[in-house]
Structure 1
Amino acid sequence: MARKRHTPEQVVNLLRQVEVGIANGKTTVLACKEASITEQRYYRWRREYGVVKDIAGGKLLSPERRRCAVAHAQQKGMGERWACRVLKQPRGTQRYRPTQREDEDRLTQAIVVLGGKYGRYGYRRITALLVRAGWKVGKDRVERIWRREELKVPQKQQPRGRLWLNDGSCVRLRPMHPNHGWSYDFVSMRTHDGRTARALNLIDEHTREALAVRVERRWSSAQVIEALADVMVIKGISVHLRSDNGPEFVAHDLRKWLAQTGAKTMYIEPRSPWKNGYCESFNSKMHDEFLNGEIFYSIKELRVLAERWRKHYNTVRPHSSLGYRPPAPEAWLASTARQSDEPNPEIAALH
């Protein structure tokens, strides 16, 4: 029968279990028996791991944590070779001294600034913003600094107020080019007085660009036609429009108007929001990064902030499905040409 091997963490836990038993009046033999080890093994472990037992609790998973444990053992009189052997730390790893780059402090400050400004972004999107601002940095280094500074995206956020300055059935269609397929849907929200407002979100499924985020207290088919017409004047006519079976979307006037423009309607099956996945994904990002963190005191304020967020989404926010580029084509061109107007001047100033 193969001999069972114990990790240093398991050995330390067993030593503590035996010591607790002895402290509560049990004999060493009985305490060792309850821990399923022999008395001889207990004394040998106490001699070999006695110093390790004094190390703060927790698993020694990372090289840095083991490095601290070995240093602590050395302070208690244990040799480096034996401490590394007990804690299973390679001596080369123990003696390694990390070097800090000259721009480490400035990069850390830039990451903290971006993390504070875009509180719903993770380190991958922060990396994309840094690269766009001129930093030559990869996501691994940003992640290391991100974790070291204990930055994270909170699961819940507290809405805040703004301080203004004076001054038929759906066939699954994969979009092949811009204006091949648009998706639109409503998102509900409330202003500070408790009244409901609804935003009509219209996106291009191919480019992921938010074509419109229009907010109204109440919507009718005529207002939906007006919103679509405003976008079609600028962007052209889409081949298909995907939506659910809401009353505004299935209205006779709207369907007749779309048929006259040449756009084809595609209605998803009832209770199947995943079939309108592009728009549902956009709606969730809108809730997470914008609506959940704001208090709106009037419908006018809501409209202004919604349009501001739409422009930010199109021209600044890195989109994971686009290689962490913003959706709007003009933003791609600006990034490729490296124009002088930086999207984050405060980050460029730190570079």
Structure 2
Amino acid sequence: MKRTRFTDEQIIGILAEHEAGAKSADLCRKHGMSKGTFYNWKGKFGGMTVSNAERLKTLEDENAKPKKLLAEQMLDLAAMKDLVFKKVVGLAVKREAVAYLRAEHGLSERRACSIVSVDRTMSRYRSRRAPDTVLRGRLRDLANERRRFGYRRRFVLLRRKGEPSGINRIYLLYREEGLTVRKRKARRKAVGTRAPTLVAARPNARWSLDFVHDQFANGQRFRVLNVVDDVTRECLAAIPDTSISGRRVARELTALIDRRRKPGMIVSNNGMELTSNAILRWCSEQRVEWHYIAPGKPMQNGFVESFNGRMRDELLNETMFRNLAHARVVITAWATDYNTERPHSALDYQSPADYARTLTTAIARPATRDESSARRAIAQPAPAGVNTNRAPVAAG
């Protein structure tokens, strides 16, 4: 706003001369102003004394303060409304919010920090941490190799290769790189109490058997016969074929017994191939106890059902099989990796093969006097950084 050359007292003095009889033209020529300015002064200060002018100026100054405060509050309210749809939590997000308010609304740093409720020193902070380019690249490579692995299993794989970073650091980079695994919709779980069947903690104590189905690129369907050791969680067999009869199942189990010895029990559902005369005859000849679960109760065969879920999530849903030969090669390689490399959360993030070796060693080692009345550990603890406390899950 352009400032006038005359004070309020001088203006009132000029108007007093005019009221005393001086002509307006002479006053304008004398004081160097236009007639428009003179009549503006007359409309504003006509009939006022110096004390009245001072009082008016004081009132104007007092009114200017609330107006200024109201304008500032309205501007702050507009800025806060602009941030109402943003989740302003965490230091990094708050720094971004301060920068946004300063750039978009032209606020000062002090006002922007007061709106976001942060300290100005925090808004100026710049991290000195190394960019972790190598570790980020290794995480992306793991994400490309094992797309359905979460950050815990990727952390275990990196720790095996000597990575010293903790699981919280891995999780932070995992989120920043956008490697979060999309969760598929789970089935509704039954609620109730479960009485588990007691199984001796040794390999070959009990096997579980089931089929899983998929199709080739041309639409032809095939099935995979999965056999799992319930104690060591090893995949003993994963046999794909377009058709698997009861006699084929008996033949594959005979070959498996030749390699691993006879199991204490085999658990399966009531499928046609598994209740055929070929299987019944095989059980009688091999003297193997075969347990059939209750119809419509797949949770009673939970070990192989869980394995089927992992296979479908990590392999079948991620792979387009060209033909049967291709399926055999890929499924065999995946089963080998599952047994030897993949960390298993139920085994304290050991691989099934490592857990089986540890279990066999613990069984073969003679008990000492201190261990005669105590339960011996049969598995190594989880890698540092992995939480092994698991909440109980209600199941039917």
Q: TM-score, normalised by structure 1?
A: 0.71
> 1:147-162 maps to which residues of 2 (within 5 A)?
147-154=175-182
Q: RMSD of the TM alignment (CA)?
A: 3.0
Match of 1:166 in 2: none
User: Does residue 173 of structure 1 match 2:197?
Assistant: yes
Structure number with greater CO (CA < 8 Å, separation at least 6) is 1
Within the candidate set 195, 204, 207, 2:229 is matched to 204
**Change in CA separation of 1:147 and 1:270 when aligned onto 2, cut-off 3 Å:** same
**Change in CA separation of 1:243 and 1:44 when aligned onto 2, cut-off 3 Å:** same
Q: Is the 8 A contact 2:232 2:355 kept in 1?
A: no
Q: Is the 8 A contact 2:232 2:356 kept in 1?
A: no
Worse overlay, 250-259 or 292-301: 250-259
> 1:187-336 maps to which residues of 2 (within 5 A)?
187-329=212-354
| Cα deviation, residue 244, structure 1 | 0.2
**Change in CA separation of 1:183 and 1:80 when aligned onto 2, cut-off 3 Å:** same
Worse overlay, 78-87 or 247-256: 78-87
Cα deviation 1:204-225 (Å, max 9, x = unaligned): 1111110000112212221111
SS at match of 2:207: strand
Match of 1:106 in 2: 134
Within the candidate set 60, 63, 85, 2:114 is matched to 85
User: Does residue 120 of structure 1 match 2:144?
Assistant: no
| Cα deviation, residue 331, structure 1 | 8.8
User: Does residue 64 of structure 1 match 2:89?
Assistant: no
Match of 2:170 in 1: 142
**How many residues in Structure 1 have an aligned counterpart in Structure 2?**
282
| Cα deviation, residue 154, structure 1 | 4.1
Cα deviation 1:68-88 (Å, max 9, x = unaligned): 222344566655454333212
SS at match of 2:163: coil
Q: Is the 8 A contact 2:203 2:356 kept in 1?
A: no
SS at match of 1:238: coil
Unpaired runs of at least 5, structure 1: 1-39, 157-170, 337-351
SS at match of 2:273: coil
Distance 2:198 2:284 in 1: 21
Give the letter for the 2:74 counterpart: R
Q: Is the 8 A contact 1:241 1:263 kept in 2?
A: yes
Distance 1:332 1:132 in 2: 18
Q: Is the 8 A contact 1:243 1:276 kept in 2?
A: yes
Distance 1:259 1:215 in 2: 26
**Change in CA separation of 1:60 and 1:262 when aligned onto 2, cut-off 3 Å:** same
SS at match of 2:274: coil
Match of 1:21 in 2: none
Match of 1:46 in 2: 74
Match of 1:97 in 2: 126
Worse overlay, 58-67 or 147-156: 147-156
Distance 1:73 1:332 in 2: 60
SS at match of 1:199: strand
Distance 2:100 2:176 in 1: 22
**Change in CA separation of 1:232 and 1:91 when aligned onto 2, cut-off 3 Å:** farther
Structure exhibiting the larger radius of gyration computed from Cα positions: 2
Distance 1:300 1:287 in 2: 19
Give the letter for the 1:184 counterpart: L
Give the letter for the 2:210 counterpart: D
SS at match of 1:58: coil
Distance 1:315 1:232 in 2: 20
Distance 1:184 1:299 in 2: 21
SS at match of 1:300: helix
Q: Is the 8 A contact 2:347 2:355 kept in 1?
A: no
| Cα deviation, residue 101, structure 1 | 3.5
| Cα deviation, residue 321, structure 1 | 1.4
Q: Is the 8 A contact 1:239 1:262 kept in 2?
A: no
**Change in CA separation of 1:50 and 1:189 when aligned onto 2, cut-off 3 Å:** closer
Q: Is the 8 A contact 1:325 1:332 kept in 2?
A: no
SS at match of 2:329: helix
**Change in CA separation of 1:65 and 1:185 when aligned onto 2, cut-off 3 Å:** same
Distance 2:77 2:338 in 1: 56
Give the letter for the 2:286 counterpart: T
SS at match of 1:211: strand
